[in-house]
Every structure is written in structure tokens, then in C-alpha cells.
A and B are shown apart, each in its own frame.
Chain A
Amino acid sequence: MATMTKSIGEPIEITRMGSDRCPDMFRWRGRTYSVIDTGGTWRLLGRWWEGDGERRYVRVATSAGKTFDLCRYASTEEWHVYRVWD
């Protein structure tokens, strides 16, 4: 069965950061997710000329069974849910 993805773009709160600078635990829409595995990291450039720098992405599998692509904006250093894999 094909996997469905949703683009989200909502901020999350990192409750625990891992040693590899990837979130270990985060809160999204009132629920806390615990990361059980990371599936690669990549970087993409934003509109740097408008103050947006390089974005760092990480794919994480959580104990709740959801896979997320999380993204950190260089400009604000904030983490967001970029995409959710159901």
C-alpha cells in the first residue's frame, strides 16, 4: 500500500535533544513523541537572500508508529514538522 504523506509546516517543541543534534523527543499538537530511529538527514537551501538560510532535515521514526520529516530553519533555529508519513 502506498504511503500517504502530508505537508505540515508547524512548529514543534523539542523536549530532549540527542547527541547527534537530532531530536530525541518532541511535542506536536499536544502530544509527545519519542524518537526510536533516524532514517537519514539532508539539507536544502532556502531563500537565503530573504534571510532564510540552509534548512536541516531529519527523518525520524517514533514510538507512536508515525514517521516524521523534521526540519530546522537556520534563521530561527526552530524545529518544525515538515512532513508526516502515515
Chain B
Amino acid sequence: MAVTHLHTHSAFSFYDGAARVEALPRAARDAGMSAIALTDHDTLAGAVRFYQAALEVGVKPIIGVEFTVEPVLPELHEDPERPPHLLLLAESNEGYSNLCRLVTAARLGEARRESAFSAAYEQVDRRRPLLTQANLRRHSEHLIALTACRKRGEIPSLLERGLLNEALAVAEHYRELFGPERLFVELHNHLLPRPQSRARYRLAELAARAGLECVATNDAHYVAKSGYRLQDVMVCMGARQTVDEPNPDRRPNAEFYLKSPRQMAKLFADQPEAVVNADRIAERCEWELDLDTFHFPAFDMERLRGRSEKGMVKSEKGTAASAVGRPPLLATCHSPLATEPPRAFLRRLCEQGAMRLYGHITGHVRERLDHELTIIEDKGLVDYFLIVWDIVRFARSQGILCTGRGSAGDSLVSYVLGITHADPLANDLLFERFLNPERRNMPDIDVDFDTRRRDEVTKYIYDTYGAERVAAVCNVNTFRARSAIRELGHALGFSDEEIGKLASVFPHIRAGDISAALEKYPELRDAQLNLADKRLLIELAEEISGLPRHLSVHVGGLLIGSRPLTGQFDKDDVEALGLVKMDILGLRIHSAIVDALDHIEAREGRRIEIEALPLDDEPSYELLRSTHTVGLFQLESPGQRNLLGRIQPTNFEDVIANISLFRPGPVQADMITPYIMRRHGLQEVEYAHPELEPILGTTFGVVIYQEQVLRIAHAIAGFSLGEADVLRRMMTKDITPEDLEEIEERFILRAGERGVRPAVAQEIFTMVRGFAAYGFNKAHAACFGKISYQTAWLKVHYPAEFMAGILSSEPMGFYPPRTVAEDAKRCGCGILPPCVNRSADRCLVEYERNPVGDIRLGLWMVRGMQERSVRRILGERERGGEFASLEDFCARTSVPGPVVESLVLARAFEFTGMDPQELLWRLSALPSDVVAGRGGRRRSPTLSYDDVDDLVGMLPSLDPMTEVGRVATDLHILGVSTTRNAFSFWRERLREMGVTPSVKLWERENGERVRVAGIIVARARPPTRSGRTAIFISLEDELGLIDVAVFEEAYNKCGRALYTSPVICVEGKLTRMGALDLSVTAENVIGLGSWSDFKLALTRDNTLGSAAHRNEAATRQTEIRGGEGRQIAYY
């Protein structure tokens, strides 16, 4: 006898099931079962993985859901917070569709408020789904119903209360709905004491009276018996209780696991027909997911035809006068002709795009377009490309900056349609890497949009394709070290303080790696975690690692279906199902770029066509070579800056290489050193075969890109590009030695046919194999590189406008606003405090005092600022003109008191000529009806403005805010210093400590011992070739950034200081590699205190901020700005 488990929960029954969904079919197979069902609570989120895992091990998958349902007899239902359960299994694919519909109906607002019971239940917890009887009736076909568990099934629980007739009435209700052949009374034997152990006999009697059959299940919640601890504690976690507290959902024993057929037969030895029925039901259930077909939505040609040409394509914002570059992309397009099929329309769009971009269509361009379009047509992807084109077209028509990313950049069609912006011909990119005719792969076009306007794009998609056919992809959030420790810790009764301490010391790692991390990381070893009593916590955390914790909405993934979509699928499930996912992502750098372009347009009256900038601007490359790249897209991290210094880029190809090389793979494979040595002529470039030279010439014989692997296999062994991509993918994955040998033989044989000697072919194969795993998609690097280049160009030519854009788009990138602002100052920009009369919501640029431009901080940067307050301030200023005084501001805007206080401290009322101290005094004296949010502190309802003046007359003599106080207040309220660098106050002290300022390091020799100090602004721990620890830190001192490398020995010695003290002093050796690459290799790290200590020290230390320091700083500022004030100067 096989005995099929028909009632089985995985961890997708959140906080109830503890089984990994993939482990269930495996365990079933191991126990000799031929089928198994998955029946999670109210969800199908685990269905696709379960299906795939079952197929993999050759076990028949059965899908079901244990629904939370509206009771048939609500008046008898005792606990309205715990509605009954009903288990439904899909008998067929139609049944599966009905399950999908029921899951959706149980979750969506309108559908679930159809009865008084469910409306009341929604008040209890609106997130918890509930299936109404009306919805169940609508979609009850092709489903087999089981009466669920003893406690939550409506029939067994009524029976347990002795209400036999009522239980029979419910059975009759469901019998009428499903028919006797599709309704089974579920029996459990969980080895409970009496009277619970008798329940299955009473249920069998009821079944007999109702004319129904019984089925044996085990309501499994974990795979093996040992899983009970985790399951029990997860129930406690879900209820936010500790294990010491009782909870009706906790199981009384450890019997709820996937028992073997023999165990089940023994448990139901006296009810054998119930066991037989489990197998009979399993035989009846046939469920198949179509994993072979893509489901593309059709592009609606009629919709475009319906629009007039003029109405359809709005001209892009500000495209009229473009001073730089070619005409704008996508400036024109056409509606399809009356009879034009999508294929022809796509071809026409491509030709127009190519004409626009290349001026004329050469044979090469036409050939490549034909090649790509043929594959696109063969794969049935015409509509998909048109849909993406249409979305991008819409975005551009609205002035929303967007760029394609990823392997879509390998396609000329994507480029000429305006989806991607790096020329695949100029950059030698291969279409087959994106869409391989040899493989059944899903095309993946990801597009980044200006973060602030991404929702407009999403709305367009919903409006165009209909809400029922568009769905957001879900994200399965899993337990990781920190979340596992926090939740398990609470349930196991540890104090908040203890849990917080433990969780916060862990880096963001898998929960399964906790023990290894405790061994590995010195900051954990030295953290005195008192682990003696936390063994169980750590054990359970490792057990829970990777289990689903909750579902959330994927950041950008949208599905567009050819028919209405139901279900909860994550991105992998979606791909398996052949649904087309589009990543509509938000990219903050786009917001920053748009801001910068707006500022430039406001000043110069022309819109820079950023996407069409020529890629040969020497000052931009000079900036990259200088490594002063704070704010630049993808090139600002300490590691990237170090690499820029070593590569010394002079053209766009170098930028692409820079982005591609700073990845874990190339670092581990040490591809960087030979590349740099050869690039600078320190090592000779040799090619094993002359055919390699044109392929690897741009990268000096080093295989960096996946596209190069394809080209080599094509050129040397005569593989088609599609075959070559299959080869590359095989080499990228874990491959068996046999498979590798087979590929190698094929490679050498085919190369031999082309006259390549076996020894040479062997050498090339070995080289390709070594690099294939680490190669980077050049198209992606080119797409990103283009944005990097644009940001470099903006920073060089418009530093104030660009840095204002970056500051407005925070949080983004690697560095805190404080560092970005300091960098802006080094570029010659002033930082001005926000002003209620001048500031906008975002940062602006003012030119009155400084030709480079001063950045006027936006209102958004003020601590505690709310959207409503910003709207009021800007709206009132527009309506009634500038504010005359603090009192006028308060009276006209009703901004809450605490926000006004922050504005005062941020010096947003500096125009009044009053010191913040005096303004705060005035504010406190204002009538409470003038200052909002002061209800509780009402002073005198009759106080008038005259009274305020009188009160102000009583103002005690206050010293104006000191310089130190001002910096500390700035940092607290705005996050940036509008005046001096906070570190400048420590200059004397650090000099006494023998600390070398960043700018003076250039005067030191390579290998010299130095001592440096600063605030840690970025910290990265990339994987290394040797597997040993290397941490790269950017320290910021008064005058600039210092790159510090901490290797394993130093890290083991003083890792704790690195992770607990934001202000550190580093002793070590100076490394100078080349003219512009400078770093300190740490030998010792001393923590100088916490950030708050540091700020405290600032405010206390009244010997700092002397006139001499101020003068020196002023002199240096002048030096930085230079005569013209446009040059970026670094010390």
C-alpha cells in the first residue's frame, strides 16, 4: 500500500508549517510513496516549487489549499477570530484554476466582505484571508473537499462539542455542494489521549450517517519527527508569544510529520478503508502545470491605430534646443497602418530607429537587424518587444528618464527601439547572449525609470492592459540571521536587549551561517555575546534559515498576462510558468540626473540631451582617473575608486572594463592584475591564436566578458553563437567532469576541423574555461557604463547642479549625505542652509555668490519634515508671496511646532537677521493657535502679536550659536554641515596624535608608516581570491577621503573597532601604485569613539574653531575654487 499524504503543510503556511516545500516530495519518495499533496493555508505560493521538486524526484504532485472559510453555521461558531478550515484538492487543471480563483477571492477586499461574518472578521485582521461560502459556491467544481482537522474543521469541532445534528447539517451542506463523491470526512490519529483519540471513531459514524466516506491523513507540518521544535516555536512566533505561554494552535505532541506508509497503516489498522481512500483520491487528482509554453500578451495594435499621430507622440520635454549631441532618441514614431501586422510594424519601427541613430542603414546594420528580427519572430516575441517599446515610449513622452539594463543591451533591436542606450555594434555585443535560438529561454528586458515617477509608468501599464491582466510579482522573504534571531529569541523568552545586541552584531548573512560566522568574524568573537544559554536559539535559527517568512511585492516585477492572472508567484515561479515578467525598476540616479538637467536648463535655458552625449569628453575621463568620483553611478565605491586609479581610463571601453572587473568573480580569479599590467605595457600580450586578437584586443588578451567567450567558441571551434552561448552557460554552472570532458572534446574536434592544432585548441579551451565562470555581461556593463559616464560628465561640467541632484535623491549610493556635501564643497560649491523663502522641496542651485553655484538645501532635508508641511510652505509662498517673519510663516502655514523648530535650527529663517536662539524664543512666545501641534501647551488664548513683541523684549541675553554648535546642529537637523567639516575641529588634537591629513599623504613615500584618522563613510568586504578577509574602507577626514585596506591579520586583531567605532585612527603602511592610486594598509585600528561621542566632543570643546583655523580653511577654499571657480581641485 502506498498511502498518500493528502494534508501536508510547507513553510508557505506561514508560522505554522516548518517543512521546506522542496523537501516534501523528496521525503515522500524516500518513504516509498508515489504521490503527495501540498495543502498550505490560504495560499498557492509554494505550488510551483512543489510541482518542480515532485517532478524532479518522480513523485506525483497533488495540489490543494486548506482554506479559512466562513462557517456554515456562524451562529454556532464560538471563536470569531478563528474561523473554520476546509481542505480543497484540485481534481484536475480546472480544479487548480478554481483554487487560484478561490485564493484570490479569499484575499481581495470586495469579494470577502459578502457576509456579515466575513465583514466582522475583516475587522479582526484584514490581512488574514477568508473564503466566504458564496465564493466557494462559485468555484467549487473540480475540487475534492476534506473536512480538515479536529480543532478547526467545522464538522469535527461541532462533533467534539457534542453537537451531532449540527455537525450533520454542515456535512449535508457540503455534501450538497460537492456531492458525496467529492466530499470526504478526514480522520487523524495523532496518538492523543482520550477523549481526543476517540474523535476519529465518532467522525466515521457521522460519515456513515451522512452517506460519506472517510479518508486518513496526518495533517503533516514538518517532514520528520525532529521538526516539531521548530514548528512549535514558529506558532509561538506567529502569535508573538513565548514558548511558556499557552496557545490553542500549538500541537500537543510531535506526531504531525510525514509518516511512512507502514506507520499510517498501523495507525489506521482499525479503519483500513480510510487509508485506501487516500490512495483513491490521489489517483483521481491530475494536475499539470504547463512549464513549456510562454504566455505572451498580445500587443494591442488597435489602441495605437486609434490615436492620432500627433496626439500619440508628445515631443519630449525640452528637446527643442539641444546644444550637445545628436537629435533626441525616439523623437518620432508612427502608428501602425490600417492593415499592418505587428511584425511589419516592429520592422518599420526598427528601421526608423536605425536611421535616426546611424544616419543611414549600412549593410552591417541591416544584416544584424534582419538576424535579430528573424529570431524574435520565430520565438513569437514580436508583441513582447512592442509592449516594452510602448512602455518606454510612454515614459519618454512624459519626460520620464529611463534606460534598459542587462542582456537586453546585447540587442540592436532594443537599441534602435530606444529601450537601451549603449550601441551594441560599437561595443561588440552579441544578440545570442540575450536571446538564444538554441535555448528555450525567457527574454528578460529590465528597464530602470526615474524612481520618483516609476508609479506613473506602472499606472500606464495597468490602465493599458487592464488590472485583471497585470499583476505584481511577489517576493518570498526568507529568514536570515538577524530576522531569525530576533523572532526566535522573542519566542524563546530572551529579553529585547539581549536579542537586539545579538542580532545587530551579525552582518547580513544567511541564518544557516550563524555558527560559521561566530567562528569567522572577530567582531562577533569579541562581542561578548554570552552564548552559553543561546545554543538552542542558534540551532533553531540555523534550522529556520531560508524558510519563507512572508510575502511582499517585488520591487519592480510586473506580469502582463494574455488572460486574467490569479495566484501568488515569485519571480522564479513566474519564469517556470512561462509568464512574461517585466522589471519596471526605479533608479535613483535617474532622479538625480533629471534634477541636474532641470537645474542646468533653469540656468542656461537649454536642455542637455544626456543620452546623446558623445563618449569622448576628456575632462570626464580625467575626473575618473583622479578617482574623485563620489556621487558617480557605479564608480564611487572605495574598491571602484581604487580600480579607477589603477586602470586610468581614457575611453568608454575602459569604463565598461572598470565596471565589469570589480566583481567577486574577476577579483577571485585575479583577472585584474594581468589586465592592468598589460594595459600599462608592463606585461606582453600574447595570443594563442591570431583569431583571438580581434576578440580580446580591447581587453589586452584577458577574457572579461561573456560575449568574448561566445566569440572565441565561434571563431576557433566554429560553434554557432547560439551553441557558443549554451557552452558558456554549461561552463558557468556546476558541471560534472564527464560533461566538461565531452565539451572539451567537441571544442577541440571542431577547432581541428578549422585547422587549429589540438594543443592550441586545448590551451584556448582551458583559458576560456577558467574565465567563463567569471565573465560579465558586457551589455549590462555598457548600459550601466553609459549612466556612469553621464554622471562623470555632469560632475565635471556642472558640479553644483549634479551634486544638488544627488543630495536630493538621497538615500542612494555608497556615501552618506554628509560626505556628498563635503565632496561638493571640494568641487567649489557652497552648501547653503534651507530657507523658507528660497528653498524648494529638493535642493536648488544659486549663483549669486559663486559662479560654480551654491547648493541651497531642500526642505526635505530638514529632520522631521513631512510631505504635508512641504506642500503647505510651497503652496502658501506661491499664493501669498515670501514670508516676512517667523510669525508670518507660522500664521500662514500652520506647520507643526516641532517642524518649525527644526526649520529654525536649520537656519531656514536666516533672512530675518535673527539668531536661531532668538527665533526659538519668539517661537515659544507665539500664541498657541498660531503654531500648530501645540494643543497641549496652550499659553494664553488672548495673546496677540503685540504681546509677542513684549515677550521678546524679555529675551534674556543669549550668546549666538558658536561655530561648533552650528556644525553639530547642522549634522543633527540636516545630516550635512553647511559650514565647516566637522573633523576640522579636531585638527589640533589629531596633529598631536601624529595623524597625517589625507592631502599630505601624497608627500609621503610608498611603504612609509603613517597614521591617519577619519570617519568611516563606506565599508566593503568583497570576496577575495584566497578566501581570506579583506575589508576596504573609505575614511573621510577634514580634507578628503582616504582608502584603507584591512587584511586578515589586522582584522583579526582589531576587527571590533572597525565595526563599533565610526571614528577611527589607522596605523599602517602607505601603498602608492601609480600616480593617483594611494591607500593605507592597516596594521592597527584604534576606535576614537562613537558618533555621538564625537558630536558631543564637538559641542563641548570650546577651544576649537579658532580664528586661525577659519582663516586657513578660507585660504584653502580659495585655492580649491581657483581663478575661474569652475575647476575641480583636490588636494
- A: residues with CB less than 8 A from B are 40-45, 47-49, 53-54, 57
* Complex contact A48–B229 (CB within 8 A): yes
* Complex contact B192–A42 (CB within 8 A): yes
Given the contacts A49-B492, A49-B536, A44 and B232 also touching, CB distance less than 8 Å: no
Does any Cβ of A come within 8 Å of B251's Cβ? yes
A-B CB proximity, top 5 nearest = A43-B253, A42-B193, A54-B254, A43-B191, A49-B243
- Shortest Cβ gap from B535 to chain A (Å): 11
* Complex contact A41–B232 (CB within 8 A): no
11 extra A-B contacts, CB within 8 A, seeds A43-B255, A44-B193? A40-B193, A41-B191, A42-B192, A43-B191, A45-B232, A45-B252, A48-B232, A49-B243, A54-B228, A54-B253, A57-B193
Return chain B residues, CB-CB under 8 Å to A42.
Answer: 191-193, 197, 253
Please report the number of residue pairs spanning A and B whose Cβ atoms sit closer than 8 angstroms.
37
> Can you name the residue of chain A whose Cβ is closest to the Cβ of B242?
A49
Which chain B residues (165-193) contact chain A, with CB distance < 8 Å?
A: 191-193
- Shortest Cβ gap from A19 to chain B (Å): 14
* Complex contact B228–A45 (CB within 8 A): yes
Cα distance A44–B228 when bound, in Å?
Answer: 12
* Complex contact B253–A45 (CB within 8 A): yes
> Can you name the residue of chain A whose Cβ is closest to the Cβ of B253?
A43
Does any Cβ of A come within 8 Å of B194's Cβ? yes
Partner of B251, one of A41, A45, A53: A45
Return chain A residues, CB-CB under 8 Å to B193.
Answer: 40, 42, 44, 57
> Can you name the residue of chain B whose Cβ is closest to the Cβ of A49?
B243
- Shortest Cβ gap from A18 to chain B (Å): 16
Number of residues on chain B facing chain A (CB within 8 A): 17
Return chain A residues, CB-CB under 8 Å to B233.
Answer: 49
- Shortest Cβ gap from B640 to chain A (Å): 48
Return chain A residues, CB-CB under 8 Å to B251.
Answer: 45
Return chain A residues, CB-CB under 8 Å to B536.
Answer: 49
Return chain B residues, CB-CB under 8 Å to A40.
Answer: 193-194, 197
Looking at B192, B197, B253, the one whose CB has the most chain A CB atoms below 10 A away is B253
Cα distance A48–B254 when bound, in Å?
Answer: 11
Cα distance A48–B233 when bound, in Å?
Answer: 10
Which chain B residues (1013-1034) contact chain A, with CB distance < 8 Å?
A: none
Return chain A residues, CB-CB under 8 Å to B243.
Answer: 47, 49
* Complex contact A43–B254 (CB within 8 A): yes
- Shortest Cβ gap from A59 to chain B (Å): 9
Cα distance A74–B979 when bound, in Å?
Answer: 69
> Can you name the residue of chain B whose Cβ is closest to the Cβ of A74?
B254
Cα distance A40–B252 when bound, in Å?
Answer: 17
- Shortest Cβ gap from B194 to chain A (Å): 7
- Shortest Cβ gap from B386 to chain A (Å): 59
Return chain A residues, CB-CB under 8 Å to B492.
Answer: 49
Cα distance A44–B196 when bound, in Å?
Answer: 12
- Shortest Cβ gap from B241 to chain A (Å): 13
> Can you name the residue of chain A whose Cβ is closest to the Cβ of B491?
A49
Return chain B residues, CB-CB under 8 Å to A44.
Answer: 193, 252-253
Which chain B residues (210-258) contact chain A, with CB distance < 8 Å?
A: 228-229, 232-233, 243, 251-255
0/1 string, B533-568, CB within 8 A of A gives 1 = 000100000000000000000000000000000000
Cα distance A47–B197 when bound, in Å?
Answer: 22
Cα distance A42–B192 when bound, in Å?
Answer: 5
Return chain A residues, CB-CB under 8 Å to B197.
Answer: 40, 42
> Can you name the residue of chain A whose Cβ is closest to the Cβ of B255?
A43
Cα distance A45–B197 when bound, in Å?
Answer: 16
Which chain B residues (263-292) contact chain A, with CB distance < 8 Å?
A: none
Looking at A41, A43, A49, A53, the one whose CB has the most chain B CB atoms below 10 A away is A49
- Shortest Cβ gap from B541 to chain A (Å): 14
Return chain A residues, CB-CB under 8 Å to B229.
Answer: 48-49
- Shortest Cβ gap from B841 to chain A (Å): 52
- Shortest Cβ gap from A53 to chain B (Å): 8
Return chain B residues, CB-CB under 8 Å to A49.
Answer: 229, 233, 243, 492, 536
- Shortest Cβ gap from B429 to chain A (Å): 57
